Structure 1
Amino acid sequence: MKITGVRSHVLSCDMPETLGYSQQYYSKRTAHLVEVSTDEGLTGWGECFGPGAVATANAGIVEGVIAPMIMGMDPRDRDVCWHRVYNLLRDHGQKGMPIQALSGVDIALWDITGQAAGLSISRLIGGRHRDRVGVYGYGMMLRPEPVGELAERFADEAAAIRDTGFRATKMKVGLGVRDDIRLAEAVRRGVGDGFDVMVDANHAYDVNDALEVGRALDDLGAYWFEEPVAPEDREGYATLRRTLRTRIAGGEAEYTRWGWRDLLASGGLSIAQPEVCALGGISEYLRVLALCHAHHVPVVNHVWGSAIAVATNMQLLAAMPPLPGGLHPREPWLEFDTTENWFRDEMLTEALDIQGQVAANNGTVALPDRPGLGVVPDPDFLNRHRIDR
């Protein structure tokens, strides 16, 4: 079998309202899919992390740089393909956009390999530790409105996520210390005690402000504090982990086994959040997962993007060993964006229906066991939302 084509599909649509996080507001949703075709008729799908203009730039890397490197190779030789691309790009980008681009290609190669073998990706990895997984719903995105109105909206939205059946919820912060504490208090009020709440700062703070917010989160019983400081501030992460009771989570902005080796050695993470569509794809994710578990750091995958990203993570969650094990280990969660997302909910020929499953099955979803990723995008949907580059 040989690779005969590598194509990017950059999709865009208007959102029903402007949403944001600590770094920006946005009113369009973007997704970047990678389609790899073969001479035997099999097609694999992957996804590259990165919105907006980043997606467009990554598409150029996929088609103009990576595709010529792997054309004619056997897609089942995915680790050979991965190292060929990485070694040739080492001088031009060991992190960031070249690795995001490689991620989507690698996921597509795994999809082809699973289809060729008649096995799901989770079985290719080594087997399924679980057939269902709990889901946490993130919402409570920032909006350009007064903090008092936003706090009331956050309380109501958090309660709605809980009442829909999700196992836990996650909110955004980034307005400043006092306003962020007010938002966190509103979310705790909305869900009540005994329901896990996570807080995502998207590296909004320096370590002093993060400590102030973190102490408030300790009092509120937050489960984790995500990306509290810049990903480069390894010492800041370690300080927060030593000082706060709330778990410190992060890692979505880290790349490859080498970056993760140094991140884990710094001792700043209570929970690791690798992003498979950014760090180097499934091939590299498995090496990162092994590093995390070797450091006894539990993993809750970062999930952002279209149905391809969600399906990829569902396969990885099925195959993730429990840490540390036992009769009643804390199982990993699937992260789920509760805001409107056509690229997740409307894009496939057969929808994943995460929300419906959560509501009907005590906050859990079934993990697909069909060959490869087990999902196929609807070509008519792609044609409607593809943007010209």
Structure 2
Amino acid sequence: MRITKVVSHVLQYDLDEELGYSQQYYARRSAHIVEIQTDEGLTGWGECFGPGNVALANKVIVEQVIAPMIVGSDPRDREVLWHRVYNLLRDHGQKGMPIQALSGVDIALWDLFGKLTEQPLHQAIGGAFRQSVQVYGYGMMLTRGKGLEQRMAEDAAVIRESGYAATKMKIGLGVARDIELVSAVRDALGPDFPLMVDANHCYDVTDALQVGRELSRLGVAWFEEPVAPEDREGYRRLRDSLEVNIAGGEAEFTRWGWRDLLDAGCVDIAQPEVCALGGITEYLKVRALAHSRFVPIVNHVWGSAVAIALNIHLLMAMPDLPGAMFPRSPLLELDTTPNRFRDELLVSPLRITETVARDGAVTAPPGHGIGVEPDRDFMAAFEVGAS
């Protein structure tokens, strides 16, 4: 079997309503899907992290930089191909967009491997430790205008009543305003429902300490990306000073970046993003690094149904940490805001929200590899630059 073609599909549509987080407001939803074709008719699917113009730049890297390095190769040689691409790109970026692009390619190769060996991805990785995964939903995004406390409180109540195991909200409007928002959401949820807070690295350490103390008082489960990912000393100071768990890592890349992050003692909870850090090949190394230090993992998940299905497999295959008769199970992150690429991209939709409401947990789609098949007509309708 040989790789014959690598295709990058950047999908995009206008949202009905603008959404935001601490770094920007956005009015378009996007996804970057990678397709690898072979001479035996099998196709692998992957996804690259990175929205908007980042996805367009990554498309060029996938098709014009990485594809010539791997076309003609045996797709089963995942480790060989990963290192070939990384070594040739090392002088041009050991982090960021080149690794995001490589991630989507690597994921598609693993999807192919599962199809070729006729096994689901979680089995190809090593087997399932659990048959289903609980889900936490986040829908409390930032919006302009008045009434944000009420809106977030209402969103949180809907998520709680919809069967999710926990919820997460965005902050980033300033220390006093953010504390008001979290207080409003906590009041709506009640004292016992798990709540997480995501700052998307908007604070310096001084402000993060002030916010973090209030989050501890409000019973928040974790404080996500409180400071810039480069500020490892700041992360460690926060861990040493606050009771609330510190989570992060979605902006870290490869085993080498994660080695340094973990060795610096930056996080209580690791949040690797498989569609960015280097794909499944590298994710499994990062998982081993985190678990060797007894740092629990809650994957960062953002994107289309491809990324969601992929992460269900990864979490089913996640070993218990540290191991017990009744272990704490990993959670799947799910963006509950409107997303056609979550709900309509696949020939057989995942129907995550319906499944959560019925069962309180989800399981991987049936089939080999990741178990997803994008609808080509749907992709064509939303593909940037498609004729």
TM-score (structure 2 length as normaliser): 0.99
2: CA distance, partners of 1:222 / 1:106: 35
Q: 2:334 aligned with 1:339, yes or no? A: no
Following superposition, the deviation at residue 378 of structure 1 comes to 0.4
Corresponding residue for residue 52 of structure 1: 52
Corresponding residue for residue 242 of structure 1: 240
Tell me the amino acid that sits aligned with residue 157 of structure 2: A
Tell me the amino acid that sits aligned with residue 142 of structure 1: L
Q: 2:367 aligned with 1:380, yes or no? A: no
2: CA distance, partners of 1:233 / 1:329: 32
Q: 2:373 aligned with 1:371, yes or no? A: no
Q: 2:16 aligned with 1:2, yes or no? A: no
Q: How does 1:164-313 map to 2 (within 5 A)?
A: 164-313=162-311
The secondary structure found in structure 2 opposite 1:229 is coil
Tell me the amino acid that sits aligned with residue 382 of structure 2: H
Tell me the amino acid that sits aligned with residue 42 of structure 1: L
2: CA distance, partners of 1:330 / 1:223: 14
Following superposition, the deviation at residue 72 of structure 1 comes to 0.5
- Structure 1, unpaired ranges of 5+: none
Corresponding residue for residue 83 of structure 1: 83
Tell me the amino acid that sits aligned with residue 37 of structure 1: Q
Corresponding residue for residue 41 of structure 1: 41
Tell me the amino acid that sits aligned with residue 365 of structure 1: V
2: CA distance, partners of 1:211 / 1:145: 27
The secondary structure found in structure 2 opposite 1:90 is helix
Q: How does 1:311-330 map to 2 (within 5 A)?
A: 311-330=309-328
The secondary structure found in structure 1 opposite 2:20 is strand
Q: Tell me if the contact between 2:350 and 2:365 (Cα under 8 Å) persists in the aligned partners.
A: no
Tell me the amino acid that sits aligned with residue 238 of structure 1: R
Corresponding residue for residue 118 of structure 2: 118
The secondary structure found in structure 2 opposite 1:32 is strand
Corresponding residue for residue 73 of structure 1: 73
CA gap of 1:272–1:253, structure 2 versus 1, over 3 A, is same
What is the percentage of aligned positions where both structures have the same residue?
Answer: 64
What whole-Å deviation, never above 9, does each CA across 1:246-295 have from its counterpart, x for those lacking one?
Answer: 10000000000000000000101000000000000000000000000011
Following superposition, the deviation at residue 121 of structure 1 comes to 1.0
Give the aligned length. 386
Following superposition, the deviation at residue 368 of structure 1 comes to 3.0
2: CA distance, partners of 1:213 / 1:143: 20
The secondary structure found in structure 2 opposite 1:257 is helix
Corresponding residue for residue 30 of structure 2: 30
2: CA distance, partners of 1:30 / 1:94: 25
What whole-Å deviation, never above 9, does each CA across 1:23-61 have from its counterpart, x for those lacking one?
Answer: 000000111100000000000000000000000000000
1: CA distance, partners of 2:144 / 2:84: 45
Tell me the amino acid that sits aligned with residue 171 of structure 2: V
Following superposition, the deviation at residue 169 of structure 1 comes to 0.2
Following superposition, the deviation at residue 369 of structure 1 comes to 4.5
What whole-Å deviation, never above 9, does each CA across 1:209-245 have from its counterpart, x for those lacking one?
Answer: 0000000000000000000000000011111111111
- Structure 2, unpaired ranges of 5+: none
